Amino acid sequence: MHRLGDVMDELRGQLAELEQRVHEASSHYDDEPWQAENFARHLPGKHELSLVATVRGKPVGFVIASRRPEGTHIHRVATDPRHQGTGIASRLLALFLARTPGIVTLICDPRNRTALDLYARAGFRVTGTAAEGKLSLAAGTPLYR
């Protein structure tokens, strides 16, 4: 597992290829696959918080997140179709949550049962609905200042 910032220069093209493969193999992932510049784009905390799993130096999964005023938001979770069902996303999420204090949010298509089961096991709960009928989920507890 690597922090996104540590592998960005080397792997940004491969991350976009992985995103494209996941997009083609999945029916309820996000509408438009991210390009290399989306992975590289700077958002608060993104390069420190986001995690990339590699096998023999090639990316096989990622959790991409950034800080928002109310907590940390996960933008992308994906595992290479050839490696799905082997625990990569579960391990990425567990490490991510262990390293990220406060509330962590994400949005998921309600038809994406595999992802919703994964998030429930990782400790996320449904908190409401978002645009286009998607579900809002959250894990963690608020940080008080």
Ligand X SMILES: CC(C)(COP(=O)(O)OP(=O)(O)OC[C@H]1O[C@@H](n2cnc3c(N)ncnc32)[C@H](O)[C@@H]1OP(=O)(O)O)[C@@H](O)C(=O)NCCC(=O)NCCS
In angstroms, give the least distance from the CB of 77 to ligand X: 5
Considering the complex, state which of residue 127 and residue 143 has its C-beta at the smaller distance from ligand X.
127
Considering the complex, state which of residue 8 and residue 89 has its C-beta at the smaller distance from ligand X.
89
In angstroms, give the least distance from the CB of 103 to ligand X: 17
**Cα dihedral sign for 34, 39, 41, 44?**
positive
Considering the complex, state which of residue 61 and residue 71 has its C-beta at the smaller distance from ligand X.
61
In angstroms, give the least distance from the CB of 145 to ligand X: 30
Residue 109: closest CA among 28, 31, 45:
28
List residues binding ligand X (CB under 6 A): 22, 26, 28-29, 61, 77-79, 84-90, 108, 112, 114-115, 117-118
Q: Which amino acid is at 73?
A: H
Residue 48: closest CA among 76, 13, 6, 12:
6
Cα 11 to chain centroid, rounded: 16
In angstroms, give the least distance from the CB of 144 to ligand X: 29
Degrees to nearest 5, angle at CA 21 with 131 and 35: 65
